[in-house]
Structure 1
Amino acid sequence: MGEEKPLIYLDNAATSWPKPPAVWEAMEKVMRESAANPGRGGHAMAVKASRTLFEARKRLAKLLRISNPNDIAFTNNTTHALNLAIQGLLKPGDHVVATTLEHNSVRRPLEALKRKLGIEVTYVATDSRGLLDLSHVAAAVSGRTKLIAATHSSNLLGCITPIEGLAEIAKQSGAKLLIDAAQSAGVLPIDVGSMGIDLLAFPGHKGLLGPQGTGGLYIHPEIDLEPLMHGGTGSKSEAPEQPTVRPDRYEAGTPNTVGIAGLAEGVGFVLKETVQKIHEREKQLTFMLMEGLLAIPGISILGPELGKERTAIVSFLLEGVDPSEMAFLLDQQFGIAVRAGFHCTPLGHETAGSYETGAVRASPGYFTTESEIVSMIEAVKQIKTTLNR
């Protein structure tokens, strides 16, 4: 058997890898020393577990400029957080404005509530590269609009949504603003107060460099969501109703203390390196990849043009080559991990004009090297030559 090629990981938009060593070291330490139920007991190990959760909340609050750490509810992932926000806020007859760039984690809960509660949803189209015209959003808002929901950065196009503009429209109409930060938390500056964000859903396992199975939802202190789950919280146990105190109200059941310990260290790494430094590094790698791919005849790249602001997402097509075949060959012949398909955003592909084919998505991360980007470009060149297309 031949020697295996070293892995080149360009799927950070799905899950970031590798993680800082402190992440898995913290997880092992908690598992060994303090893996008790936080908030469910007064013994030393339970208290230590509770401190682990609070430290993670404090670091997240510092990163996202959240005044009260208890306004952050831990969730399993962004999808869980988005469902808590959408299902907890909307009532029969409400109207929602979203965009055509939304992930299925926004679209599917909205469509489910259309069927169950009769809510109305308007999807505002962007242009093919993901540029959102705020006047179209303003025109879509009505007196019944309860929520404006938008991705901060498209997981297909990498374009960045003008959050402050959406916030102004939401404020004028009395609607709440929900932001899907799946591709932005940890790599773009976020200040929930100055940006006017009412609800912010974020993953732990992407830009925050934590483990899978972690995430959260920031809930503005004036918003009371109906809990997605009811059950044990360790507080007000004598009452039959879910407690109103935060964050217990939204965190029924035993939490992922081990994972949250890892998340705290991932956030700590981001705070130390700074979001600005991380974004600049990822932008440098992204532009390098785009420039190299665009030099290959037959390649087209979705999203903002080279040199325009974007997150580290490069979705592309090679004329005459199925994206799944390209991803398979990159993996099997070159040891390069990318993702092909629809990326859970069919509306995004309709917008970009790639609905019939899907696309190949390469997403560098903070730990990606320039030599790995060169290898990716050369691999695509070789695949094109081999296929004679």
Structure 2
Amino acid sequence: MSGVLYFDQAASSWPKPPAVMDAMMQCMQEYAANPGRGSHGMAVKASRTLFETRKNIAKLIGVRNPNNISFALNTTHALNQAIKGYIKPGDHVICSNVEHNSVRRPLEHLKATAGIDLTYLRHDEEGNMSLQDLKEALRPNTTLVVVNHSSNLLGTIMPVGEIGEICRNHGAKLLVDAAQSVGVLPVHVSDMNIDMLAFPGHKGLLGPQGTGGLYIHPELDLEPLLHGGTGSQSEAIHQPTVRPDRYEAGTQNTPGIAGLNEGVKFVLHETVEKIHAKEWALTQQLMEGLLGIQGVTILGPKLGQNKTGIVSFNIQDVDSSEVAFILDQSFQIAVRAGYHCSPLAHEIAGTLAKGAVRASIGYFTTTEEVTTLIDAVREIGSQYAK
């Protein structure tokens, strides 16, 4: 795959820092034992690696006690733990209509099976929501509000801190889907009044796939999504009450978490402020170039507005999958096309019929690569010019 220009960072970041791969290989070669399941040296070192990773993630997102972070396979896993572990029959839940299916589908499942009441907040075509609409949607039985920090289609950044304050004043809990923000945008769970934060390891944190996690406020007790062995309280018939064991049944992905640790350390060293600034500058370069091509339209916030490194676009009425196929086959440029697991977001953007091409920027993207993508889109656009 050498020579491919990778603009699918919103799905999985690539390339990874070399230390990520080195740490995973070292783990496999030296201490790939079960963490928490033995007192021998390899098992102890595996346990220490998990705890060090928790500490570094806690430092990054403003968590005081690292044990309030439980590891997950990905953001979807973490969101399911949060949603299904907290919501009870009869609860009223609010979420936005730009949520990923990882939020929408669990909520709709509970609506169908547990009788919860669900309200979707409208966003404008750029992905912005009204805080007044949120206030008016709150009810006495509203127990949870779920929002993404940044739309995976539009790149819009949500005012999570203000949403958190509204929820706190009402007595509702706030769950944030940080799939597109952790490692890219500043996140501080206390300052932003976040009760639960679901995040991936393989995107902004630059770790491998199969890693992620869920921050759970110390005052919340969720029903575990999985029950089984934890290496602790083994004499008990029920799931342990101690954290993080309560939410981590089964053997953890120690090699993956070892790699994740190095990704988090890289982010801490570079700082999210520096990462976001670089990605934003490249995003503006890409948007400005695309806007100069006849027939190209861009979804989400306009040029100059703050957003994450996601640029979704279309060329006239050409199907997005066709554009992505040409970029891949003729130009060796990797983007994503279709609905990006966010059909409601496509409804508000007016692109439900054909989807959108999504080009997403990463920290290792270069200005030259952006220029190459712009030139390729220009060439494709000229073929379909009316």
SS of the residue corresponding to residue 181 of structure 2 reads coil
- 1:161 equivalent to 2:158? Answer yes
Q: Give the letter aligned to residue 163 of structure 2.
A: L
Q: Which residue of 1 aligns with 2:241?
A: 244
- 1:313 equivalent to 2:310? Answer yes
Q: Which residue of 1 aligns with 2:258?
A: 261
| Distance in structure 2 (CA, Å) of the matches to 1:22 and 1:374 | 29
Q: Give the letter aligned to residue 343 of structure 1.
A: H
Q: Which residue of 2 aligns with 1:220?
A: 217
Provide the aligned C-alpha RMSD in A.
Answer: 0.8
- 1:71 equivalent to 2:32? Answer no
Structure-to-structure mapping, 1:40-189, within 5 angstroms: 40-189=37-186
Q: Which residue of 1 aligns with 2:269?
A: 272
Give the Å deviation of 1:331: 0.3
Give the Å deviation of 1:388: 3.9
Unmatched 5+ residue regions in structure 2?
none
- 1:6 equivalent to 2:3? Answer yes
Q: Give the letter aligned to residue 119 of structure 1.
A: I
SS of the residue corresponding to residue 292 of structure 1 reads helix
Q: Give the letter aligned to residue 120 of structure 1.
A: D
Q: Give the letter aligned to residue 35 of structure 1.
A: A
| Distance in structure 2 (CA, Å) of the matches to 1:207 and 1:339 | 17
Give the Å deviation of 1:168: 1.6
Give the Å deviation of 1:271: 0.2
Structure-to-structure mapping, 1:337-348, within 5 angstroms: 337-348=334-345
- Residues 245 and 158 (structure 1 numbering): CA distance in 2 closer, same or farther, change over 3 Å? same
The superposition leaves residues 189-215 of structure 1 with CA deviations (integer Å, 9 ceiling, x where unpaired) of 000001100000000000000000000
Give the Å deviation of 1:387: 3.4
Matched positions, count = 386
Asked if structure 1 preserves the Cα contact closer than 8 Å seen for 2:97 and 2:344, the reply is yes
Moved more, 252-261 or 314-323: 314-323
Give the Å deviation of 1:5: 7.7
SS of the residue corresponding to residue 377 of structure 2 reads helix
Regions of 4+ moved over 2 Å = 386-389
Give the Å deviation of 1:320: 2.6
Give the Å deviation of 1:235: 0.3
Give the Å deviation of 1:95: 0.5
| Distance in structure 2 (CA, Å) of the matches to 1:175 and 1:44 | 45
The superposition leaves residues 297-352 of structure 1 with CA deviations (integer Å, 9 ceiling, x where unpaired) of 11110000000000000000110311111000000000000000000000110111
Asked if structure 2 preserves the Cα contact closer than 8 Å seen for 1:5 and 1:334, the reply is no
* Percent of paired sites with the same residue: 63
SS of the residue corresponding to residue 58 of structure 1 reads helix
Asked if structure 2 preserves the Cα contact closer than 8 Å seen for 1:11 and 1:362, the reply is yes
- 1:202 equivalent to 2:196? Answer no
The superposition leaves residues 13-65 of structure 1 with CA deviations (integer Å, 9 ceiling, x where unpaired) of 00000000000000000000000000000011000000010010000000001
| Distance in structure 2 (CA, Å) of the matches to 1:124 and 1:55 | 39
| Distance in structure 2 (CA, Å) of the matches to 1:26 and 1:14 | 22
Give the Å deviation of 1:128: 0.6
TM-score by length of 1: 0.98
